[in-house]
Chain A
Amino acid sequence: MIENSSVHRDSRPLLEVRDLGVVYKLGRRRPPLQAVDGVSLSVAPRETVGIVGESGSGKSTIGRAILGLAPIDRGTISLAGDDITHAGYGQRRKISADLQVIFQDPYSSLNPTRTIGQTLSESLIAQGHRSRSEIEARVATMLHRVGMSEDAASKYPNRFSGGQRQRIAIARALMTQPRLVICDEPTSALDLSVQAQILNLMRELQDEFQLSYLFIAHDLAVVRHLSHRIIVVYKGQVMEQGASNTVYSFPAHPYTRALLSAVPVPDPVEQGSWRELRLSDASEARAPSGENACPFASRCPHAVAICRTSRPALEETPEGSSVACHRWRDLRTPATTAVRNNGISQVPQSSPSNSIGA
């Protein structure tokens, strides 16, 4: 767990999302796609909240909805107390000072026909800054801060490698000194050693600029490294959420466990013992579940009748996380609440409080 979690415990959330629903219309012949279905979450000042899930889970859509890039069907989103659910251009411009984004693909997120300086100064221009020298000074400072040389401002994006472009994208996001940055898979296109550099940079900048991150990624190790809290989503719904250590050490939802056990550990011995333990994750072949069902029921090895007829609500576990599963109490056996720690600790370790319902 990251130490400063107590700092923001009682402060008001910076971002508050309630019962968010996003529906994409796919044309006349196909039914609309419910990409996000009743997600609630909050991010406190200086907090990092990680969203994990497989592709198609709706994790990126949540971020896009907050940024005003996805069609919101229901629910509310508020930033620092202001409702921004259906913000128009004027309001977007105002909140863009506080809300910024870092995208996954460093190749498509910078316009190849604009110099780095032009790209970086845009958000300041949108904020009404007019003084050219002021803008240039700020561009230089930010470039320097993310570890780039100042003469990068006059160059085009094609001069830079993936890692450097991602640094530039970070600089762009921080130009207006935002309070919340949505990070959509910011390191998944990068090499391992470059990824480590970017993750370190993001952590430094968080302390320095008092940032909150909503960190969306599919790599559980990366999310865990940076996040205070974690939200696990599947088919647009929250399956489990809680403090990052709790979710990783005592995963309560079968889906969380399936995800965690699927990540190959970079250690052959440990990975070997994990493989033996891996839950026999059922394939997609089973009958799909209906409207009022647990979204994971069709893939869940523990699904029973109630899972196919009623959608579970989030319930609090003794460890302090919340889980949306009808059977989480039954499933708390020692073998399945195994701790997977920092790569050093061994398999399987029972949870301290797993006597309940076992």
Chain B
Amino acid sequence: MSAITTATEAIESPNALRRLFRRPLALACIGYLLLVILVAILAPVIWPGVDHEQAGDLIRARQGSTPDHWFGTDALGRDVLQRLLVGTRVTMVGVVEGMVVVLALGVPLGVIAGYFGGLPDRILTWISDLTFSIPGLIVILVVLSIFKASLLAAMITFGLLVSPHLIRLVRSATLPVSRELYIEAARVSGLSRFYILRHHVLPRIAGPIIVQASFLAAAILLVQSGLAYLNLIIEAPAPSWGGMIAEGLENISSQPWLIWPPGIAIGLTMLAFLLLSDQIRDVGVETWQGPRRRIRRKDITQVQAAALRVEGGRSDSGDDGSPAEVALLSMEGVRVSVSSPGGELTIIEGVTLDVRVGETVGLVGESGSGKTMTAMAILGLLTGGAQITSGEIRFAGRNLVGLSEQQLRRIRGSEIGLISQEPMVGFNPVFRIGTQLEDTLRLHQGMTRRQARVAAIDLLRRVRLPDPAAVARRYPHELSGGMAQRVAIARALSGNPTLLIADEPTTALDVTVQAEILELLRELAHDERMAILLVSHDWGVIADVCDRAVVMYAGQVVERAGIIPIFREPMHPYTAALLSSNPHHAIPGDVLPTIPGTVPKPGAWPVGCHFQARCRLSTTECGEAKIPMLQPTDERETRCLHFRVLAQESELVEVTRS
């Protein structure tokens, strides 16, 4: 379990600010904007006269860059640099005024609309829609005709007009957060709405708000400069960036240089706002994507895993039997590694396992044991930089390790079928079930559309759906959980596979539906001689459908046995402990036997037995060297030095039972 922690740590650290500061581009933007603000505050103090300066040194008018006037002088002989710096204030004041209005309206109203929903939401959405249809510039001009040259009035008006953008964004960010369980837990605790919004909702949506605010700041700057350019908001001699562009334009033929300084200032500042919003968004994507369960699952398969390893000495009890006993799938010492900052990290340590024709093999383990990773390795679907570094996967006589992606793809849908925990994941919601099955059939079997149509219905019949033609006409969202899993199995069967890999196929289903799906799997194995590798954490499911079971712990196979012996007489302490922690076997009300401690992470595996730290039978021997797969009997294998102790114990239990 602790390995999950490492996985999510990387994704989500509440310290987003620190990570923002680690980005050079973000630092540059913040630095520039701080400089602009500093100038806006200080420049008018340093050069108090500039605001009222009708004309400067007329003799030195229209000059280019000189040591006295770095940016030259304008038509009235005023210093361009001074005007630019002093003009920063009025520009920035405009941006701040606009932003205050936007934030003061957008954040609270958006949160209210998203959190409370209902009538306030509908009214706010309606007002927002209305605002979008108002021609903003005309409204501002009307306002300015009443409040002559009032920057404040213009910016408030513009703020009012753009705040619906923020309201919408905040609303849609609030909506999912307000449905989180911790919000409900806070409500159950009787915390006030204000407290919940302030402490639970706002911090979660701060990221998107800052991104959008930064973006809107750029827009406000542009409008402010535009209005200043039109000479609508600033009285004549006072400088502003927009006003300076207007002046430059008047003299464009004699002094083309004049429009550059204010133009570059406006451009750079907008760029800083926009880039900063981009940078915050990037950091935010890393930060706020809370570890949803699906993501978590992926991380587990990426970052950690475990598998089965047999170091030599494995006698293949099954291989010398009749032809039917020959393994269809045979993994031999498969090791999966992922490159990490500390070098190659082994996450599956040598899996060896066989699946024969018509046989169902259960791959059992808790999260982090590597069972899903093992299944994905067979299909060549390893993600997150994980790869097979040694071993063989022989399927129907070929070694799958080292095949090209194209060759693997051909084997995937056709010779090996996959069913996953979420049946509808691979279906496109906008197409009918029948159409999608037909496409798969045409792809894998080269059928014509007509043939495929018939075959699709046959497939649906094969998975025992009561009215296959009606199901084929449905869309994925119109299926119940059980039907969806049947349809997914139908698609897995579309390429006529000989091996089916089922990764927790019933975990998301109700028990009654689960029973039906397991029945179907059993029929497939029995009637059609399908080989099935069933990945599951549920001993009940394993007991119901499997012929043999392979138990994994922390990257290794720890036990392998026929289904009845493994339940009756587990020969690895982990198997025994896992079986007994199932409440099914406990006397109601009694304390359940548990396994102390946690599963060690990949990279932290001890020398010798991976389970030693949590094992009640462990001795110094267990930590001295790698434990090989031992063979107590012909049919059984265990990676435990003390299996005899366990065997004796279970004999005792048998005696007391009878």
Q: Which residues of A contact B (CB under 8 A)?
A: 1-3, 54-55, 67-69, 89, 92-96, 99-101, 103-105, 107-114, 118-119, 122-123, 125-127, 156, 158-164, 169, 172, 176, 189, 191-197, 199-200, 203, 218, 220-222, 224-226, 244-245, 258-259, 261-269, 271, 275, 278, 281, 283-285, 342-344
Contact = CB atoms under 8 A, between A and B. Distances in A.
A54 B188 contact: no
B443 to A, nearest CB: 31
16 contacts: A1-B589, A107-B296, A108-B182, A111-B200, A114-B200, A119-B182, A122-B186, A122-B199, A126-B190, A163-B1, A193-B578, A199-B592, A224-B583, A225-B589, A263-B540, A281-B516
B14 interface: yes
A93 B190 contact: yes
Nearest to A228: B589
B184 interface: yes
B454 interface: no
Interface residues of B, number: 79
Contacts of A160: 5
B451 interface: no
B151 to A, nearest CB: 37
Contacts of B182: 108-111, 119
Q: Which of A68, A127, A262 has the most CB of B within 10 A?
A: A262
Interface in B513-566: 513-516, 518-519, 537-544, 546, 563-564
Nearest to A203: B591
B512 interface: yes
Contact of A266 (B192, B519, B539): B539
Main secondary structure of the interface of B (DSSP, over half): helix
Given A107-B292, A159-B9, A266-B539, A96 B587 contact: no
A268 B563 contact: yes
Contacts of B543: 264-268, 271
Nearest to B7: A158
Contacts of A268: 543-544, 546, 563-564, 567
Given A159-B5, A271-B544, A101 B188 contact: yes
Nearest to B510: A54
Interface of B: 1-2, 4-5, 8-9, 11-14, 180-182, 184-193, 195, 199-200, 203-204, 290-293, 296, 366-367, 466-467, 480-481, 510-516, 518-519, 537-544, 546, 563-564, 567, 577-579, 581-589, 591-595, 598, 657
A71 B538 CA distance: 36
A150 B301 CA distance: 31
Given A126-B190, A163-B1, A218-B510, A158 B13 contact: yes
Contact of B290 (A108, A259, A278): A108
A103 B581 contact: no
Q: Which of B204, B467, B538, B581 has the most CB of A within 10 A?
A: B581
**What 6 pairs across the A-B complex have the smallest Cβ distances?**
A93-B190, A264-B540, A161-B1, A266-B539, A96-B190, A196-B581
A113 B540 contact: no
A63 B32 CA distance: 54
A68 B296 contact: no
B543 to A, nearest CB: 4
Nearest to B583: A225
Given A92-B187, A196-B592, 18 more contacts: A69-B184, A89-B192, A96-B188, A103-B185, A112-B14, A126-B190, A192-B581, A193-B366, A199-B583, A203-B591, A221-B582, A225-B592, A259-B512, A266-B567, A275-B519, A281-B515, A283-B516, A343-B585
